[in-house]
Amino acid sequence: MPITWANLGVDLHLDQSGRRLRAGLEHALRDAIQSGQLHPGARLPSSRALALDLGIARNTVAEAYGQLVAEGWLAARQGSGTRVSDRPAASPVAPSRDLPDPTLVRYDLRPGRPDLAMFPRAAWLAAARRALTAAPYDALGYGDPRGRPELRSALAEYLSRVRGVRVTADRIVVCTGVVQALGLLFQVQRAGGRQRLAMEAYGLPDHRQVAVANGLRVRTLPVDAAGADVDGLSGVDTVLLTPAHQFPLGVPLSPDRRRRVVEWAVEGDRLIVEDDYDGEFRYDRQAVGAIQALAPEHVVYAGTASKALAPGLRLAWLALPSHLIEPMTEAKRLADGHSGTLDQLTLAELIVSGAYDRHVRRCRLAYQRRRDRLVAALGDRAPRARVTGIAAGLHALVELPDGRREQEVVAAAAGRRLAVEGLDEYRAAEQRHRPALVIGYATPPEHAFAAAVAQLCTVLEG
């Protein structure tokens, strides 16, 4: 086999003089053209003349010229030698502004994130090793848009056991976060002429934005102590709910409303999207099972690894009614082929080995303790604030003492480098709940939790 660039390679930096010289010459010429030292149309010395000047082989110069011609920097015309291309001067690459950094905060009680210090790095790496070592070759290729069968099977068993979901592996689509899952679902609904979506009056602004970006018309449902008011669903095709633990108000959907919304869906052949974002975390009793089990053909169940493991994994899943399997598979294929397989294989291994259950139990205990400490501290040191909602999830609604305004409290907290969010950040309708903070008690690392809660109490009583 002849020696070529392929098996020697400039990136080896072998001291093969001709090659090094040629690369250096190319580099110098490119720089000179980019910087304007050599302007468009400028004529270069002949390869012979330049070779003599530089004391190098003529071939080296000729090859460098040839490369730059191929790249478009130079133009060679019969009879007129080699010139700098008349190509438009390349615009200088100005460093563009970085996106805003998160403000520097010392204590963080904003909701939406688990304690990232609890991510089981060692267990994850061990599972990744087992999974990748055992993975068939095809796991590394292009695959089923729904995701790896190993993960879909593991999830079907897990969701059935832990959340009562009635699902088989073929009905599961693994997505890059719930945001993508909802986006694809909204696309499919819109393509099917089902453009009218109802969402809870308090919820994640991102979900609303995704719905609007995908062309849906959004109506809001009032939310009260019994969850979303499902009486306002006439003329709606799809409703997005957080039945186990309303986000952010923290209440479950009442049994009566659960029944009624399922009736609404089945009778009119409509769709419920059940966002079960923190269904594994209930502390005072066994969690209420998924609504999906009541009507698997009319409910899309959405779950995620963002709360039990880490949002950075971007792993979420949908359990679909049968009529949505094909359109959702196609939507996912057109969106990105499928989600990355290595993390899917690792999560499957984690679930099947039992390590995921152990980790969830550990988190559940830790977050229950934090919630208890938060409630106790507020009771002692900020008794005019009131924690509402059920003992569940990773956040609590803390209603402000009478007369206090959210913005003022958030600003006072910021003055102490404590980041908190007012409930109003999540409001999407006229309805106004009384002023409150949405406290994410899972966010700080364990060592910072007590101090963060102390700051919160001070701010609330201040």
Distance CA 359, CA 245 (A): 21
Q: How far is the CB of 418 from a second copy (least distance, A)?
A: 18
**Residue 427's beta-bridge partner residues?**
202
| 207 belongs to the binding site for a second copy (CB under 8 A) | no
Looking only at the bridges linking them, the beta strands covering 172-175 and 196-200 are unpaired
Size (the chain), residues: 462
How far apart are CB 383 and a second copy at their closest, in Å? Answer: 22
CB atoms within 10 A of CB 240: 27
- Which of these ranges, 194-202, 217-225, 269-277, 310-318, lies near a second copy under the rule CB under 8 A? 310-318
Q: Considering CB under 8 A, how many residues would be counted as binding a second copy?
A: 117
Q: Which is nearer to a second copy, 151 or 460 (CB)?
A: 151
Q: Pick from 3, 15, 70, 447: which binds a second copy (CB under 8 A)?
A: 70
Helices and strands in the chain, H and E counts: 14, 17
Angle between helices 149-163 and 341-352 (to 10 degrees): 40
> Which range, of 168-176, 221-229, 270-278, 375-383, touches a second copy by CB under 8 A?
168-176
Provide, rounded to whole angstroms, the least separation between the CB of residue 275 and a second copy: 15
Q: Which of 293, 454 has the CB closer to a second copy?
A: 293
Binding letters toward a second copy, positions 248-287, x by CB under 8 A = ----x--x--xx--xx--xx--------------xxxxx-
Nearer CB in complex with a second copy: 53/138: 138
Shortest approach of a second copy to residue 164 CB, angstroms? 7
Task: Tell me the C-alpha distance between 155 and 145, whole Å.
Answer: 16
291/302 with CB nearer a second copy: 291
Instruction: Locate the DSSP E strands across 316-422.
Output: 316-319, 386-388, 395-399, 418-419, 421-422
- β-strands 223-224, 227-228 pairing: antiparallel
- 229 vs 357, which CB is nearer to a second copy? 357
* CA dist., res. 324 & res. 300, Å (int): 9
Radius of gyration of the chain (CA): 30
Contact 72, 85 (CB under 8 A): yes
**Structure-derived torsion over alpha carbons of residues 344, 164, 258, 437, reported in degrees to the nearest 10:** -50
Residue 337 C-beta: closest distance to a second copy, Å = 5
Nearest distance from residue 384's CB to a second copy, in Å? 26
Minimum CB distance to a second copy smaller for 181 or for 459: 181
CB 70 to a second copy: min, Å: 5
The residues in 322-381 that bind a second copy, with binding defined as CB under 8 A, are 322, 325, 329, 334-343, 357, 361, 364-365, 368-369, 372
Taking the least distance from each CB to a second copy, the nearer of 161 and 417 is: 161
Query: Could you write out the DSSP letters of every residue in 84-125?
Result: E--PPPPPP-PPPPPPPPPPP-SEE--SS---GGGS-HHHHH
Considering only residues 121 through 160, tell me which ones interact with a second copy, judged by CB under 8 A.
Answer: 121, 124-125, 128-129, 132-133, 137-144, 146
Element (H, E) at 303: strand 299-304
81-84/217-221 β-pairing: unpaired
Nearer to a second copy, 161 or 405 (CB): 161
Q: Residue 295's CB: how many other CB atoms inside 10 A?
A: 17
State which of positions 12-41 bind a second copy (CB under 8 A): 12, 30
Residues with Cβ within 8 Å of 279's Cβ and at least 6 positions away in sequence, in order, are: 162, 163, 244, 245, 287, 290, 303
Is the separation of the CB atoms in 273 and 238 below 8 Å? yes
**Of 297 and 461, which CB lies nearer to a second copy in the complex structure?**
297
Q: By rule CB under 8 A, what string of x and - marks binding of each residue 378-417 to a second copy?
A: ----------------------------------------
CB 183 within 8 A of CB 334: no
Tell me the window of 228-236, 308-316, 413-421, 447-455 that interacts with a second copy (CB under 8 A).
Answer: 308-316
d(CA 102, CA 410): 16
Nearest distance, CB of residue 123 and a second copy, angstroms = 11
Q: Which residue has the tokens 């559940």?
A: 364
Q: Which is nearer to a second copy, 301 or 409 (CB)?
A: 301
Q: Is the dihedral of CA 12, 15, 21, 22 positive or negative?
A: negative
CB-nearer residue toward a second copy: 362 or 432: 362
Which of 213, 376, 411, 450 contacts a second copy by CB under 8 A?
A: 213
Site for a second copy, residues 80 to 119, rule: CB under 8 A: 85-88, 90-91, 93-99, 112-113, 116-117, 119
Judged by CB under 8 A, the chain residues 48 through 67 that form the site for a second copy are: 67
Draw the binding track, 220-239, toward a second copy (x: CB under 8 A; -: no contact): --------------------
